[in-house]
Amino acid sequence: MDRIASFCIDHDKLVPGIYISRIDGDIVTYDIRMRRPNIPPFLENAALHTLEHLFATFARNSQWKDHVIYFGPMGCRTGCYFLVRDMKESDVIQLIQQVFQQIANFEGVVPGTTAVECGNYLEHDLAGAKKEAQEFLSVIACWKEENLKYPC
The Cβ of residue 55 has, within 10 Å, a number of other Cβ atoms equal to: 24
Q: What DSSP assignment string belongs to 77-142?
A: SSEEEEEEES--HHHHHHHHHHHHHHHHH--SPPTT-STTT-TTTT---HHHHHHHHHHHHHHHTT
The verdict on residue 67 lying in a domain is yes
**Total number of domains constituting the chain:** 1
CA dihedral sign, ordered 21, 26, 27, 32: positive
In this predicted structure, what is the pLDDT of residue 152? 63
pLDDT in tens, 89-104: 999 999 999 999 999 9
pTM (predicted TM-score): 0.95
What is the pLDDT, as a whole number, of residue 5? 74
Within a domain: 61: yes
Query: What pLDDT is attached to residue 38?
Result: 96
Distance CA 134, CA 122 (A): 23
Query: Which domain CATH number covers 52?
Result: 3.30.1360.80
- Residue 57 inside a domain? The answer is yes
What residue type is 145 in one-letter code? E
CA distance 132 to 100: 9
Which domain does 12 fall in, by range? 5-147
152 domain residue, yes or no = no
Task: List, run by run, the mean pLDDT of 10-residue segments along the chain (152 residues).
Answer: 81 95 96 97 98 98 98 97 98 98 98 97 98 98 97 74
Under DSSP, is residue 152 helix (H, G, I), strand (E, B) or coil? Answer: coil
Supply the pLDDT for residue 55: 98
